Amino acid sequence: MAIINACFSSNHFAIIHLLLLFFYVSSCLDIIKICLADANVLCLDADREGLFAFKTSLTDPSGRLASWVGEDCCTWNGIKCNNQTGHVTKLELRNPYWLVNGGVGDREAYKRSCLGGKINPSLLHLNQLNYLDISFNDFEGAPIPDFFGQLQNLRYLNLSFASFSGEIPNQLGNLSGLQYLDLYADSYSNSGTLELSTQNLKWLSGLSSLKHLNLGYVKLDGVGADWLQTVNMLPSLVELRLHWCQLQGLPLSLPSINFTSLSVLDLSENSFNAFPQWLFNLTSLTKLYLRWDFFNNHIPGEFANLELLEVLDLSNNLELGGQIPGIFGNLSRLRILDLSANNLIGDIQEFLGGFSGKPNNLFFLDLSSNSLVGELPESLGNLKNLQYLFLSGNSFWGSIPSSIGSLSSLWKLDLSYNMMNGTIPESFGQLSKLVDANLMQNSWEGILNEAHLINLRRLESIRLTTQPTRSLVFNVSYKWVPPFMLKSIQLENCLVGPPFPLWLQLQTELTFVVLRKVGISDTIPGDWFSKLSSQISYLVLSNNEIKGNLPHELEFPNLRGIDLSSNRFEGPFPQWSINTSELYLQDNSFSGPLPENIGVLMPRLQRLYLSWNHLNSRIPSSMCDMLDLQVLSLRSNKFSGELPNCWHQSQMLWAIDISNNTLSGHLPISFGYLRSLSVLMLSNNNLDGEIPSSLQNCTGLTSIDLGGNKFSGTLPPWIEDNKLASLFMLRLQSNLLSGNIPQRLCNLRNLHILDLSHNMFSGCIPRCIGNLSALVHGKNSEVFERLIYVAIKGRDPEYRSIIAIVDSIDLSWNNLTGGIPDEVSSLSALHILNLSHNYLAGPIPPSLSSLTSLTRLNLSYNNLAGRIPPLPKFVDPSIFEGNPSLCGAPLPNKCPRSSTFRKTNF
């Protein structure tokens, strides 16, 4: 029995163990089945059909929805499903190719990647959808669909940058579970021409769970004064962005504050005035953006209440004035402070003093474009965590404080456009993390040695300019090897030469180079120049004494502008293959002809300056193929032959200056096809024939200078009529023109310079000369002067000689008869009047005494008679020489008692 009981007991336990093992395995199998079932769950038919219909209504030029085929929509791109039920819960169709910084990037690639077309209501089949993102697409001004308000399970809705327009549907207020709503309306694809708006914000009251609201660029100018009270009823709101919403006023008070959990507030670019008191009760704020809001008065001290603030942007308020208070040092979490483009005044002693002895996390500080003054204090070194420091566009003076070396984390420094007139300390060289230093447009002095630069291992960009009257010297040994490899350098009026220093030759990664007036009188190292040619985008070596020949053939695939002017380069014009838009080689000693295929070598050239060289031969006709050419300046060379006659209306040429050469032949008729032509200067050549009538098609002409040629015939009638309403300068001196000065010349109401001297004009000076209204009022000449300056672009004396005769009339050395019209006295802005060497007769009009602006007058060598009226500014008797019948002061011959002022009609 004992044996049987023992056997029974043993079998009993074995059976129990088997049973337990069976149940354990069964449980595992059930779990595995459940896991396998979850892994293989398919999307529901209704959801799939809804998505198919949605896709059919869309345009998809890049095929982003190509994966939307087959039975299982849960595997399609942009789709997420619930693993248990198979319901589609997430639809994420944000354009993966989106532009940055307001639309910078490849717009064509962006456009191709955009979804568009119509949004099908079949989305309502996705009744468990909680996440919808179709941002950065292009729905071309379609309204936001009303049916979005029926997607009751939505928690996230992002329609930003998708080119919706019209009224925001109030039905969105039905989405009571919505936590994230982004309707930012600025569109990359339509350049902001579409408009999304709403007449009230009451629909927001239904979004009781909302945490994030972005209505940037949505037009809210019609929402009324109580708009903020509606927003205030959203107790869960953490982030509110109302950037550029055309809001006209910010309520100064609220009955109570409900959105106290608000962490991010952006009200930038609206029209507010005063800071409201309730703002400083939002003590949970970490980021506050109030730029371009027209706030005035001072920065309130109550900002100190916002102790959690990390970002504060008060830039571009223009009228925000006063000194910067010291309260910001109390905000220990503040990381970004932007106070740029305001009207802040005084020094920054108090501001920086607020950080003294306190821990701070400030890494971005922008105080640029204000009216701040004084020396930069040593307390600047208190901001030891600064990475970005922008102080440009103020009136700081003195030296950089030595404490600058304490800013060991500094990455970017901008002190440009100030009045800094001191030195740069050696501690500047301790900024081992500095990448970008902009110290241009100041009046620096002193010496920069190796200690100033030795630890700048990360430096990539340096801009340092001073005034020509100051002395700033780079005193480093010729063989010094710098620790940095620059990508951008701009040095002006600093002494770097005479030799081309080795430290510059070692900078082989440069893409932007400006070395203007730095005292280099060496040749350009050939290896350095050729290494840069493959990558350089902008190269300026002007106003030095650099000599030698340029490499004859090089390719510059990325070059956009090159300026080698005012040096001593010689040899032939370089036959470079470049896509640059600007080429400045004026004021050198280049010689020989221009390449006949210059239009092929430089097809995108917009501005070509070759004046003051020794270039010769003919002007190549391939210039007519340069469709982008705007300015052609070939002044003071040795070009000969006839001008090309192949110009056509598709060209953009607006300025031609080929003065002081030896051109011959007629003026090309095809100049008349250059409808954009504004400045035409061909003086001092050997051109002949009549001035062609085709120029009347160039109705935008402002300056014509054809003096010093052999043009003949009469003054063209088209010059005199209203076709050249903007004509500022007409210089035809020293030609062979004849005939009368026509009455219609007086129609040129913008004429400030008239020079017809040294011709064979005859007849009377027209009495209507007093109608030249620009010489009556003397205004609006700056724009025209600027056009001439751009056309000449070179030695100042050439430009100044023209500007010196603004508001002048010179009719000297002709065959004019009759008297001086009394109407000349109407030209109250006239500075220069030269009527000498003619056959004018009769008295000098007494009314000339009223021309108080007159600084030069010449009436010599005529037949004028009678008493000289009082002209106190002109006491030099030579201006009356050759008129033996004139009498009275300042001439020695006295007038008889019977001599009176006589007015004679001619």
Dump pLDDT digits (tens) for 72-110.
999 999 999 999 999 999 999 999 987 766 566 788 888
> What mean pLDDT do residues 435-447 have?
97
> What mean pLDDT do residues 825-834 have?
94
- Res 780: pLDDT: 81
Q: What is the pLDDT of residues 375-409, one digit of tens each?
A: 999 999 999 999 999 999 999 999 999 999 999 99
- Model's pTM, two decimal places? 0.84
**79: in domain:** no
CA distance linking residue 254 with residue 282, whole number of Å: 12
- Res 554: pLDDT: 82
**Two tokens, residue 731:** 């210089």
Q: Name residue 364's beta-bridge partners.
A: 336, 388
Q: CA 365, 369, 374: angle at the middle one, nearest 5? A: 80
**Residue 37 banded pLDDT, cuts 50, 70, 90:** very low
**759: in domain:** yes
In this structure, the number of other CB atoms found within 10 A of the CB of residue 479 comes to: 8
Query: Which of 241-255, 277-291, 512-526, 702-716 is predicted least confidently?
Result: 241-255
Q: What is the pLDDT of residues 581-593, one digit of tens each?
A: 999 999 999 999 9
Q: CA 495, 496, 497: angle at the middle one, nearest 5? A: 100
**103: in domain:** no
Q: Compute the half-sphere exposure of residue 232: CA atoms within 13 Å on the CB side of its CA.
A: 15
**Two tokens, residue 14:** 């074995």
**Two tokens, residue 93:** 């169709």
Would you list the DSSP string of 493-511?
S-B--SS--HHHHT--S-S
The answer to whether residue 873 scores a pLDDT higher than 80 is no
616 neighbors 591 (Cβ within 8 angstroms): yes
- Res 3: pLDDT: 40
- Res 103: pLDDT: 61
In this structure, the number of other CB atoms found within 10 A of the CB of residue 553 comes to: 9
Number of residues written out for the chain: 906
The answer to whether residue 649 scores a pLDDT higher than 70 is yes
Helix (H) or strand (E) holding 655: strand 655-657
Q: Compute the half-sphere exposure of residue 618: CA atoms within 13 Å on the CB side of its CA.
A: 13
**563: in domain:** no
- Res 718: pLDDT: 84
> What mean pLDDT do residues 660-668 have?
97
> What mean pLDDT do residues 237-266 have?
92
**659: in domain:** yes
> What mean pLDDT do residues 288-296 have?
94
**Closest-CA residue to 426 (of 392, 408, 401, 444):** 401
**Residue 253 banded pLDDT, cuts 50, 70, 90:** confident
Domain extent, residue 779, equals 623-635+645-887
Q: Name residue 609's beta-bridge partners.
A: 584, 633
Strand order in the sheet with 863-867: 841-842, 863-867, 885-887
Q: What is the pLDDT of residues 142-173, one digit of tens each?
A: 999 999 999 999 999 999 999 999 999 999 99
CA distance linking residue 864 with residue 740, whole number of Å: 20
Would you list the DSSP string of 862-875?
SEEEEEPP--TT--
CA distance linking residue 608 with residue 261, whole number of Å: 61
Q: What is the pLDDT of residues 743-794, one digit of tens each?
A: 989 989 899 999 999 999 999 999 999 999 999 988 788 999 999 999 998 6
CA distance linking residue 24 with residue 648, whole number of Å: 93
Q: Residue 30 phi/psi, 5° resolution?
A: -60, -40
> What mean pLDDT do residues 47-57 have?
96
- Res 10: pLDDT: 44
591 neighbors 571 (Cβ within 8 angstroms): yes
**878: in domain:** yes
**Residue 18 banded pLDDT, cuts 50, 70, 90:** very low
Specify the number of domains making up the chain. Answer: 1
CA distance linking residue 440 with residue 444, whole number of Å: 9
**775: in domain:** yes
Instruction: Report the DSSP pairing between strands 58-59 and 116-117.
Output: antiparallel
CA distance linking residue 222 with residue 234, whole number of Å: 21
**Closest-CA residue to 612 (of 581, 589, 642):** 589
The answer to whether residue 523 scores a pLDDT higher than 50 is yes
The answer to whether residue 21 scores a pLDDT higher than 80 is no
**871: in domain:** yes
Q: CA 357, 359, 363: angle at the middle one, nearest 5? A: 120
Q: The CATH number of the domain where 789 resides is what?
A: 3.80.10.10
CA distance linking residue 359 with residue 357, whole number of Å: 7
- Res 15: pLDDT: 43
- Res 578: pLDDT: 87
**Residue 27 banded pLDDT, cuts 50, 70, 90:** very low
Q: Compute the half-sphere exposure of residue 30: CA atoms within 13 Å on the CB side of its CA.
A: 6
**Residue 795 banded pLDDT, cuts 50, 70, 90:** low
Q: Name residue 214's beta-bridge partners.
A: 182, 241
